[in-house]
């Protein structure tokens, strides 16, 4: 049976053409990338440290390579700190999820 005939048949039977594989089988296939755990933890900790730096130091005291450095400014970059903190937290959560067991192993 050709592909177009198969799609027409499934459309006739169901009212719409459903994909051949179910979404449930695709959800179980999450690949773990263990080589990303250490870089994600390092980046997460650096971003959280940067968030503390944004909250503690005024813009004039930030290192010149940090976004938000403004010579002579007494402004604290609270929003920069919140963004850096949330991104750092997201990196740590990503690393945590990568350390978990595979679903296929736990189901057996």
Give the pLDDT of residue 28: 59
CA distance from start to end of the chain: 37
Percent over 90 (pLDDT), the chain: 31
Tokens 């440290």 belong to residue:
49
Task: Name the token pair of 52.
Answer: 């503390």
Separation between Cα atoms, residue 108 and residue 106, nearest integer Å: 6
Separation between Cα atoms, residue 77 and residue 84, nearest integer Å: 11
How many whole angstroms from its chain centre is CA 1? 42
Domain positions in the chain: 1-30, 31-100
Contacts of 91 (CB under 8 A, 6+ apart): 40, 41, 43, 44, 47
Give the global pTM: 0.63
pLDDT digits (tens, 9 = 90+) for 42-76: 999 999 999 999 888 888 787 878 877 767 777 77
Contact yes or no for 50/23 (Cβ under 8 A): no
């Amino acid at each position: 049976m050709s592909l177009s005939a198969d799609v027409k048949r499934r459309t006739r039977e169901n009212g719409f053409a459903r994909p051949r594989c179910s979404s449930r089988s695709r959800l179980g296939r999450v690949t773990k990338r263990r080589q990303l755990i250490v870089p994600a933890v390092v980046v997460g900790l650096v971003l959280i440290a940067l968030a503390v730096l944004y909250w503690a130091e005024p813009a004039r005291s930030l290192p010149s390579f940090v976004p938000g450095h403004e010579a002579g400014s007494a402004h604290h970059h609270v929003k920069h700190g919140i963004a850096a903190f949330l991104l750092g937290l997201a990196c740590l959560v990503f690393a945590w999820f990568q350390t978990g067991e595979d679903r296929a192993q736990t189901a057996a």
